[in-house]
Structure 1
Amino acid sequence: MLFSLHNKKAAITGAGSGIGLAIAQVFAQQGAEVHILDLNEATAQEAAQSIQRQGGKASAYACDVSNQAQMKVVFQHIGPLDILVNNAGIAHIGTAESTSEADFDRVMNINVKGVYNCLHAAIPLMKENGGGVILNMASIAATIGIPDRFAYSTAKGAVLTMTLATAKDYLKQNIRCNCISPARVHTPFVDGFLAKNYPGQEAEMYEKLAQTQPIGRMAEPVEVAYLALFLCSDEAGFITGCDYPIDGGFTRLNN
């Protein structure tokens, strides 16, 4: 079977909802034993149970990716690891002037330090296991200027360069590392953002945001999950140190 993950163990952060949940579901469908890491214990447990009800293998862990000691405990509990997907992250709206120090630190702690903490804890397990695959969730904001996304763009730029550094450092240990850079994806976060900031205008504003992609719509989480599946499968064994935009043409066609 193409893109099989049978006998693979995958840890996915931020997998209680949105893109992370879609990745966990697709990986489980392809035979992986998935470990769902999320700050929200209830959503993590529900995600794992939904996969189990479909006949998949899943476990849930409530944890904070910005806490290194906590992440080390979680990964030691997971044990030998084949795949790590660093998906957990938060958004922030603001310029260099309007972004407070507290908000900047919060974005860096989760979106940058969180990725580092998981790499720091998971790579030794992959080395012991003879190799593995790491997939980081970056963003088109890492390479394209987007208004009012100063802290977020900074953090995702760091994720992109951490991907390159990790791919270079662990070539000889048979560890591949790539990243995905989505444009707008229709997740519960988007719906919550619209409800909070544009009450009564949700449908209108959703369509406006969707049309910023030349393809004319937002991505669905499962579409990102399918790309993640390919990059984490053996069929992508010749790919490392690469960034993959999945953006409906935003990066190259939006002019």
Structure 2
Amino acid sequence: MALFDLSGRRALITGSSKGIGFAVAEALASAGAAIVLNARDPDRLEVARSVLAAKGYDAVSAAFDVTDPDAVALGVGDIEDTSGPIDILINNAGIQHRAPLEEFPLEAWRRLCATNIDSAFLMGQAVARRMIPRGRGKIINICSVQSELARPGIAPYTATKGAIKMLTKGMATDWARHGLQINAIGPGYFKTELNAALVADTAFSGWLEKRTPAGRWGEVHELAGAAIFLASEASSFVNGHILYVDGGITASL
């Protein structure tokens, strides 16, 4: 099990005050990693940090806007100066906006692109610049089944997640030779705050259960294994890969 041991490693997880980001942070902490939680709301971050600390995990918080280039540069620099090198970066920050494509607001499009794509580019670049001289590092981007599949009303979101899939491959192509592994997790439909309205929609939930071979929604703790694998030495020769954790939905018509 030493292959999966993250002791002595530091992981920065964006968008980690709740949902998938927090679940991934807790998973990495359980494998021994020191955790740096990131989001824009310091109060919510402190709540999340205190939950991890109460379980005996090493966790600190760093509140800054991952869509702001200056804030990213300062935030990453401060983490490395005060806590230590970032060994693992999880680019999880993301938002959703649902509307018919022909009526989709331009401002919502720009907000989606900034949060879902710009943040991964900015954070990946800032952290990789520090990982490359060290000759090692792990970057895990959070994709989605929408990196492969579309549904009505979320075409811009689908576009951003398709972009993250290809950014992952591009990062691996540029940075693998420096000793970095850059991969992605593609969650299916999980019970999170982002999906609360869909979970409560009995018609949608019924459709999803029939559409998914596993026959149910995913629980966020079920992302733990994938996150630990891609963050650990167990994936030392895995690069540019998107690992779908989706109950089989991308495998079945």
Q: TM-score interval w.r.t. the shorter chain?
A: over 0.9
TM-score where L is the length of structure 1: 0.92
Matched, 1:49 2:50: yes
Amino acid across the alignment from 1:241 = G
Q: Which letter does structure 1 place at the counterpart of 2:242?
A: D
Question: Partners in 2 of 1:135 and 1:148 — Cα distance?
Answer: 27
Deviations 1:196-243 (A, max 9, x none): xxxxxx362463254132211111111113211111110111101111
CA apart distance, 1:34:
0.7
Partner SS, residue 6 of structure 2: coil
The 8 Å contact of residues 12 and 20 in structure 1, kept in 2 or not, is answered as: yes
TM-score for the superposition, normalised by structure 2:
0.93
| C-alpha RMSD over aligned residues | 1.6
Conserved? CA contact 2:176–2:182, under 8 Å: no
Write the distance in 2 (CA, Å) between the matches of 1:75 and 1:7: 19
The reply on whether 1:89 has 2:83 as its aligned counterpart is: no
1:174 and 1:164 mapped to 2: Cα distance? 15
Instruction: Please state whether the residue corresponding to 1:189 is helix, strand or coil.
Output: helix
* Aligned residue pair count: 247
1:95–1:142 distance in 2 versus 1, CA, 3 Å: farther
CA distance in 2, matches of 1:141, 1:98: 20
Structure 1 runs of 4+ off > 4 angstroms?
none
> Which residue matches 2:215?
216
Q: State how far apart, in whole Å, the 2-side matches of 1:12 and 1:209 are.
A: 32
1:160 and 1:179 in contact (8 A); partners too = yes
Could you say what secondary structure the match of 2:103 adopts? coil
SS of the residue corresponding to residue 91 of structure 1 reads coil
How many angstroms does 1:84 deviate by? 0.4
Match among 127, 133, 138 for residue 128 of structure 1: 133
Q: How far, CA to CA, are the matches of 1:56 and 1:4 in structure 2?
A: 14
Q: Paired residue for 1:230? A: 229
Report the 3-state secondary structure (helix = DSSP H, G, I; strand = E; otherwise coil) of the residue aligned with 2:102.
Answer: coil
| SS of alignment partner, residue 189 of structure 2 | coil
1:242 equivalent in alignment to 2:241:
yes
SS in 2 for 1:144: coil
Q: Aligned partners of 1:225, 1:71: CA distance in 2, in Å?
A: 26
Query: Are residues 130 and 42 of structure 1, via their aligned partners in 2, closer, same or farther at CA, if it must alter by over 3 Å?
Result: same
Q: Deviations over 1:36-59 (max 9, x none)?
A: 001222221111111111111111
CA-CA distance at 1:128 after TM superposition: 3.1
CA contact (8 A) 1:167 1:178 kept: yes
State the match for 2:38 in structure 1.
37
- Aligned partner of 1:183 among 165, 177, 188: 188
> Do residues 146 (structure 1) and 144 (structure 2) align?
no
Structure 1's unaligned 5+ residue stretches are 196-201
Q: Equivalent residue for 2:60? A: 59
How many Å apart are 1:16 and its aligned residue? Answer: 0.5
> What is the DSSP-based 3-state SS (H/G/I as helix, E as strand, rest coil) of the residue aligned with 1:216?
coil
Equivalent residue letter for 2:9: K
SS class of match (1:180): strand
Say yes or no: does 1:102 pair with 2:100.
Answer: no
2:119 to 103, 114, 120: 114
1:158-183 C-alpha deviation (Å, 9 max, x unpaired): 10111001001012210110111111
Q: Quote how far apart the aligned CAs of 1:82 are.
A: 0.7
Alignment partners' CA distance in 2, 1:217 and 1:229? 23
Tell me: CA distance 1:93–1:231, structure 2 relative to 1, closer, same or farther (3 Å): same
Equivalent in the alignment of 2:19: 18
Amino acid at match of 1:186: K
**Which has the larger displacement, 214-223 or 6-15?**
214-223
